[in-house]
């Protein structure tokens, strides 16, 4: 509670040493509840009432509050003055003081009622002021809670986005690595294609050679002819037929070989 928010009225109504007793029936301060207070039953002080200042009951009440004997006149307007002071305290109070202010309200109500003042309506107004103060505090707390919840939500979103960025960065790195592997695979495929082309060329050349070569039957026939010639040379023992020279035999062999 801000000390500068109120003046001497901020002191406890039951211990207000600055209050000067008022002897007339009019309230010392114009109260926002004066109109309501004026509707309440008014009791005109009488000599009998004045004597009550010295009665045990008045002394008992005075022991509860040093200022309350001033209210013995049963002046509702004067009671309203004290109520207004209490309402000022309520409006400038902190939330943790509300409960004690409720107790203070109850105490004031009982003391005034003990002296015949009917301030039920004004008491309800004090309770209403307390409820409004509490509602304002709860609303402020609610707004604070909303801010905290909103902040938590934003922090959670921030963390989620950071994780997403990290995940995307990791994925990007993996994509780069996969791209490098793909380049290597394509390079190897090109090398395999070159080998495949070379293989096709070799096969094509071999097929061309095979197409130009004599058939195996022809080669076998030529080989048989050569063997027969060799055998014929070996059977001529009388020397009437000239034998083939070594050069001619070698030449025949080379020709047969070339046909293979």
Q: How many CA atoms lie within 13 A of 188 on its CB side?
A: 6
Kindly state whether residue 194 falls inside one of the protein's structural domains.
Answer: no
pLDDT for the residue 190? 93
The verdict on 28 and 127 lying in the same domain is yes
Kindly state whether residue 198 falls inside one of the protein's structural domains.
Answer: no
The verdict on 101 and 226 lying in the same domain is no
pLDDT for the residue 39? 46
Domain count, the chain: 2
Contacts 24+ apart (CB under 8 A), 118-121: 118/40, 118/41, 118/76, 119/37, 119/40, 119/76, 119/79, 119/80, 119/83, 121/33, 121/36, 121/37, 121/39, 121/40
Kindly state whether residue 76 falls inside one of the protein's structural domains.
Answer: yes
Contacts of residue 200, defined as CB under 8 A and 6 or more positions apart, other chains included, come to: none
The verdict on 248 and 125 lying in the same domain is no
pLDDT for the residue 115? 58
Classify each residue of 155-181 as buried b or exposed e, where b means 16 or more C-beta atoms within 10 Å of its C-beta. eeeeeeeeeeeeeeeeeeeeeeeeeee
Kindly state whether residue 92 falls inside one of the protein's structural domains.
Answer: yes
CA-CA distance, 95 to 7, in Å (whole number)?
20
Kindly state whether residue 122 falls inside one of the protein's structural domains.
Answer: yes
Contacts of residue 32, defined as CB under 8 A and 6 or more positions apart, other chains included, come to: 84, 87
pLDDT 10s digit of each residue in the chain, 260 long? 343 433 334 334 443 444 333 333 344 444 444 444 444 444 434 434 444 444 444 444 344 444 433 433 344 454 566 666 666 666 666 666 666 766 776 776 676 666 555 555 556 666 666 666 666 666 656 556 667 778 888 888 888 888 888 888 888 889 989 999 999 999 999 999 999 999 888 888 888 877 777 777 887 888 888 888 877 776 554 555 555 566 676 777 777 766 66
Domain finish residue from 146, 161, 181: 146
CA-CA distance, 238 to 189, in Å (whole number)?
73
The verdict on 122 and 217 lying in the same domain is no
Tokens 């045990």 locate to 56
Domain finish residue from 99, 121, 146: 146
Kindly state whether residue 63 falls inside one of the protein's structural domains.
Answer: yes
Whole-prediction pTM value? 0.28
The verdict on 114 and 220 lying in the same domain is no
The verdict on 17 and 130 lying in the same domain is yes
The verdict on 120 and 220 lying in the same domain is no
CA-CA distance, 11 to 18, in Å (whole number)?
10
Smallest CA-to-CA distance from 72 within 54, 85, 95 is with 54
Domain finish residue from 94, 123, 146: 146
The verdict on 131 and 20 lying in the same domain is yes
The verdict on 21 and 99 lying in the same domain is yes
Kindly state whether residue 180 falls inside one of the protein's structural domains.
Answer: no
The verdict on 221 and 95 lying in the same domain is no
The verdict on 135 and 217 lying in the same domain is no
CA-CA distance, 176 to 84, in Å (whole number)?
78
Kindly state whether residue 66 falls inside one of the protein's structural domains.
Answer: yes
Q: For residue 248, give its domain range.
A: 213-231+244-259
The verdict on 9 and 108 lying in the same domain is yes
Classify each residue of 212-247 as buried b or exposed e, where b means 16 or more C-beta atoms within 10 Å of its C-beta. eeeeeeeeeebeeebeeeeeeeeeeeeeeeeeeeee
Phi and psi at 79, nearest 5°, equal -60, -40
């Amino acid at each position: 509670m801000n000390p500068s928010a109120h003046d001497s009225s901020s002191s406890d109504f039951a211990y207000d040493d600055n209050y000067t007793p008022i002897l007339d029936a009019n309230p010392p301060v114009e109260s926002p509840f004066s109109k309501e207070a004026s509707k309440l039953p008014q009791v005109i002080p009488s000599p009998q009432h004045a004597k009550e200042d010295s009665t045990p009951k008045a002394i008992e009440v005075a022991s509860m509050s040093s200022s309350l004997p001033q209210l013995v006149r049963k002046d509702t307007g004067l009671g309203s003055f004290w109520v207004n002071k209490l309402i000022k305290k309520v409006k400038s109070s902190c939330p943790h003081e509300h409960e004690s202010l409720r107790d203070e309200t109850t105490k004031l109500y009982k003391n005034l009622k003990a002296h015949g003042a009917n301030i039920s309506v004004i008491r309800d107004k004090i309770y209403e002021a307390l409820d409004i103060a509490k509602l304002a505090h709860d609303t402020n707390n609610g707004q604070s809670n909303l801010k905290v919840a909103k902040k938590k939500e934003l922090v959670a979103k921030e963390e989620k986005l950071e994780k997403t960025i990290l995940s995307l960065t990791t994925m990007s790195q993996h994509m780069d690595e996969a791209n490098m592997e793909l380049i290597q695979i394509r390079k190897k495929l090109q090398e395999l294609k070159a080998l495949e082309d070379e293989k096709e060329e070799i096969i094509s050349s071999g097929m061309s050679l095979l197409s130009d070569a004599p058939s195996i039957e022809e080669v076998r026939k030529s080989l048989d002819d050569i063997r027969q010639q060799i055998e014929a040379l070996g059977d001529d023992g009388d020397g009437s037929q000239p034998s083939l020279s070594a050069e001619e035999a070698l030449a025949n062999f080379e020709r047969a070989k070339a046909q293979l």
